[in-house]
Structure 1
Amino acid sequence: MAEVLGIYEEFQNVSFPSQQFNIYSGGMAKIATLKTKGEKKLVGYDRMVFSRPGLYNLLMARVASEKIHYNKKVVSIEQNQDGAMILCSDGTTYYGDIIVGADGAYSGVRQGLYRQLQKIGRLPSSDALELSKGYICMVGTTEPLNSVHYPVSMAKSPAQAVDKKFRNSEWNPQTTEPMIAEVKDFLTPFRGTMGELISATPTDIISRVFLEDKLFETRHAGRTVLIGDACHKLLPSSGQGAVTAMQDAVALANCLYELKSFSPDHIQEALQIYKDERFSQVQEQYEASKVNAKLIYGQTFLERCARHLIFNYMPMSVQAKASSKGMAYRPQASFLPLVADRGTCHVMPQKPSKRYLHEQLKNSAATNATVI
């Protein structure tokens, strides 16, 4: 998508290629290695890692500042035949034709929509259940480290590492002292202990995070639609949480671009096309994240055996094919010039935009017209 938007080179400047990751025991014995080096030949791109603020800043530099409002929390929504409205916790209201709930796992938009559907008996019982809290982890970003003691560290300032503006409710700092006490003596592959890394991390950016997961069935109703964590929360074991959210955004944008009018019938038609395209794709990634979580985090005897065998004895070519399976689906913005496929693996064909093609032909005809 970065290439479609013309920011691929800048994206590479805020990213680092990742060709493998290691899993260690508590005594720092290497348990397994997952290599991704062979993926580039298959998919055409390196696997890249980056900080969230780095990506946010890159994208936001291309959005007019007056279009972004901070410290807004949706507490309720209203919608009818004529339009839609959101009410925020600070008392402000906003009106429009369509509400897109992209406000995270505890989405206020989703909660407002589901309350409406529950009142009229249209909410599936599974959607009323809480998110599943399967794992807990602690996250934070240290101050710049001594490169002699930590030769693999990259010098990043705290301002570059963390931007509080982008925290959502599940990333807010919580009481971390008990967890710190439990892990402070753990060894690290960077030398030293976790306690030393924690001591080099500002206390206000250490968070205890619940790794939750849930796939919601209801993605839209009326003039309201959900994308990203608001309708599917994946475990981070497959690294597909943010990817699926961005794919949602692209697929929805394509559907809205083809919208014939803002009538309720046309909106429903567009939003159903969006769900039909995305639900099965996300379902596959959701199941894959659960399987990968057992392989990476699992502590039962069978899970430990599977981790050792798969990561250490499976050929790299097979590993690369398995990890790139989900990369065949690569939606692009249909209203922008499409980027040619890279790599050797199969890529699902992109459905062209009839409206975009029509406008391109019209513009070409106007450019080539001769005035007599």
Structure 2
Amino acid sequence: MTTPASSTRIAPRVLIVGAGLSGLMLAILFERMGDIEYSILERASAAKPLGSAMSLTPSIQILFEQLGMGEELKKISLPSPVANLYDEELNLLGAIVHPKTLDRIGQRILLPRPDLFDLLLSKIPAERMLWGKRVLKVDEDDEANKDQVTITCADGSQYAADMVVGADGVYSSVRQNMYRVMSEQEILPKEDDEPLNVGFACMVGITSAMDPEKYPELKDDFAHFRSVVGGVRHNWGAINMPNNKFTWQFNLQYLDEKEAKQKLFMNSEWGPESNKEMLDEFKELPNPFGGKMADFINETPPELVSRVFLEYKLFKTWYHGRCVLVGDACHKVALMSREKMLPGGGAGAVNAFQDAVILANCLYDVEDRSVSSLQAAFQSYYEQRYEGAKEAYNTSEVMSKVMSGLTWQDRLARWLVMRMPQWVQQRNYEKAAAYRPQVMFLPQVGDHGMVPALPQKPCARYLALQSKAVQAEVSTATGSAVV
């Protein structure tokens, strides 16, 4: 289903750099919009979705329902009513998320990231995907393509469009090119020129199908989230998934500055790089589902093991000229991102999807391809999203320490959170659930008895087109002319 066409609109032509979750969702929204010509430039030579478990809150599940993808999402996920935390001896420390909130805000779900990637990719025409396109340069001053932006790739190919969306992750080539130009013009904020905040090394994987008789939790219709807070500087955990699989994750925390720089230099995000030393460190640790963690590692195909160095930062500048950023390219949240198997995990994905929705809504109102029109849309997008992204960033820092911090202050915070009154937990969850933006140029989905959604900025062009369509129906019925 697409939206009504406008006879006066000259839709922008768009290049999306990066086939991550935000880039794919934005492409799906362009498909529904119907009049935007776009291509996705992805540096990988083929689709190789990696990662572990991620969660999606009710506030973003409503988007999938609006797009007619709700049932498909249910098939690849499990509800997650509670998250259990253990010490190294597998003694229960406490639980987070109480099922009594479900009737008010819906239920969080957990799913394998590769399955979500495949679902999104299946909605995009193959001809829109350009693989093996590593972006080297983004140029808005190309003499051959005035009033456009030109991308040059490592293979020598070039592509021109009216605007570029940087959906290419925390090491975004689009952002780096954009910031270089702004730095030369001496307009780049100082904080945006500072390095990323260091995080920790992380290894994740997804097992092959396991025996439900050995692991009876696989028979349940909900996800058992089990996370172990380690003693020195690491933690680990696992979650049962659909199709009798488990996702697992190991985190090596609190890297010193020297070690962090070395890890950062060697990082290749979401690459299936081997790291035998790190795996060996965790193999003999107790598995919260029974046995040792080696039992899951040995049942994980090598291509489904990936290592990543997690870092975090909220950038102040999200757009310049004809370029705009979404997802991790402009706000990589602290530890609670797409990689993390925490109850608040998936914050990176949720925020990325929300970016895509708001940016698509703003672009729907663009009437021409001029840089001034695009800048107005980018500014509206920024105004609607920045504070929400900032709040998610700050919350993620706090919750990351609560969930997996190892200092005495972190342990105290965890002790307090575990004993937080249920009404306080429910109030916090309801506050977060109230922000659930939808696509404003498509029919809206109701609250379904959930906490009422916060007001959202409408698409002026959509309202005008809808009003014109209603007038046309009335005039047809009465035989009068529409002015």
1:211 is displaced (CA, Å) by: 2.2
Are the counterparts in 2 of residues 72 and 88 from structure 1 also a CA contact under 8 Å?
yes
Tell me whether 217-226 or 170-179 shows the greater mean CA deviation. 170-179
Which residue identity is paired with 2:385?
Answer: R
1:227-278 Cα distance to aligned partner (Å, 9 max, x none)? 0000000122532110001100111111111113211211111111111111
SS at 1:170's partner residue? coil
Q: Is the 8 A contact 2:76 2:242 kept in 1?
A: no
Amino acid at match of 1:333: V
- Aligned residue number for residue 194 of structure 2: 129
Query: Is 1:254 aligned to 2:319, yes or no?
Result: no
Residue 221 (structure 1) shift:
0.3
Q: Is the 8 A contact 1:38 1:317 kept in 2?
A: no
Contact 2:150–2:159 at 8 Å: present in 1 too?
Answer: yes
Deviation at 1:145, TM superposition (A): 1.5
Give the whole-Å Cα distance in 1 for the aligned partners of 2:244 and 2:169.
27
Name 1:109's counterpart in structure 2: 174
Residue of 397, 416, 431 corresponding to 1:309:
416
Q: Which deviates more, 348-357 or 288-297? A: 348-357
Q: Quick one: distance in 1 between partners of 2:392 and 2:357?
A: 17
The one-letter amino acid paired with 2:279 is: I
Q: In structure 2, what is the Cα distance between the partners aligned to 1:194 and 1:85?
A: 48
User: Map of 1:12-91 to 2, 5 A cutoff?
Assistant: 12-43=74-105, 45-80=106-141, 82-91=147-156
Q: CA RMSD in A?
A: 2.2
Question: What is the TM-score of this pair, normalised by structure 1?
Answer: 0.91
Does the Cα contact within 8 Å between 2:362 and 2:459 map onto a contact in 1? no
Question: Are the structure 2 counterparts of residues 342 and 362 from structure 1 closer, same or farther at C-alpha, using a change threshold of 3 Å?
Answer: same
Q: CA deviation at 1:155?
A: 6.4
Counterpart contact for 1:285–1:326, Cα < 8 Å? no
Aligned to 2:437: 331
**What is the aligned partner in structure 2 of residue 95 from structure 1?**
160
Give yes or no for contact 1:176–1:206 (8 Å, CA) kept in 2. Answer: no
Q: Percentage identity across aligned positions?
A: 40
Q: C-alpha separation between the residues in 2 aligned to 1:253 and 1:213?
A: 25
Go from structure 1 to structure 2 and tell me whether the alpha carbon gap of 1:49 and 1:358 turns closer, same or farther (over 3 Å shift). Answer: same
Specify which of 269, 285, 288 is matched with residue 186 of structure 1: 285
184, 199, 209: which one pairs with 1:119? 184
Give how far 1:169 is off: 4.3
Q: TM-score, normalised by structure 2?
A: 0.71
Given that 1:36 and 1:47 are in contact with CA atoms closer than 8 Å, whether structure 2 keeps it comes out as no
Amino acid at match of 1:33: A
TM-aligned CA distance change 1:323 to 1:71, over 3 Å: farther
Equivalence for 1:165? none
* CA distance in structure 2 between the partners assigned to 1:348 and 1:122 by the alignment: 34
Contact kept, 8 Å, 1:39 with 1:321, in 2: the verdict is no
Could you tell me which of 283, 286, 305 is aligned with 2:393?
A: 286
**Which structure dedicates a bigger proportion of its chain to strand?**
2
Q: Is the 8 A contact 2:210 2:244 kept in 1?
A: no
Listed as ranges, the gaps of 5+ residues in structure 1 are 162-167
Residues 300 and 129 (structure 1 numbering): CA distance in 2 closer, same or farther, change over 3 Å? Answer: same
* Contact 1:145/1:155, CA 8 A, preserved across alignment: no
Letter in 1 for 2:67: L
- For the 8 Å contact 1:35–1:316, the answer to whether it is kept is no
Distance (Å, rounded) in 2 between the aligned partners of 1:305 and 1:156: 38
1:342 to 448, 464, 472: 448
What is the SS of the residue equivalent to 1:284?
A: helix
1:175-324 → structure 2 map (5 Å cutoff): 175-234=274-333, 235-236=335-336, 237=342, 238-239=344-345, 240-311=347-418, 313-324=419-430
Q: Is the 8 A contact 1:39 1:47 kept in 2?
A: no
How far apart in 2 are the matches of 1:156 and 1:73?
35
Question: Tell me, what secondary structure is at the counterpart of 1:140?
Answer: strand
In 2, distance between residues paired with 1:28 and 1:338? 45
Letter in 2 for 1:145: M
What is the count of residue pairs matched by the alignment? 363
Q: Is the 8 A contact 2:318 2:330 kept in 1?
A: yes
CA distance change for structure 1 residues 36 and 71 in 2, over 3 Å: closer, same or farther? farther
Deviation at 1:49, TM superposition (A): 1.2
User: How do residues 359-370 of structure 1 correspond to structure 2 at under 5 angstroms?
Assistant: 359-368=465-474, 369-370=476-477
Aligned-pair CA distance for 1:52: 2.0
| 1:138 correspondence with 2:203 | yes
Please list every run of at least 4 consecutive aligned residues from structure 1 whose deviation after the TM superposition is greater than 6 angstroms: none
Which residue is 2:272 aligned to? 173
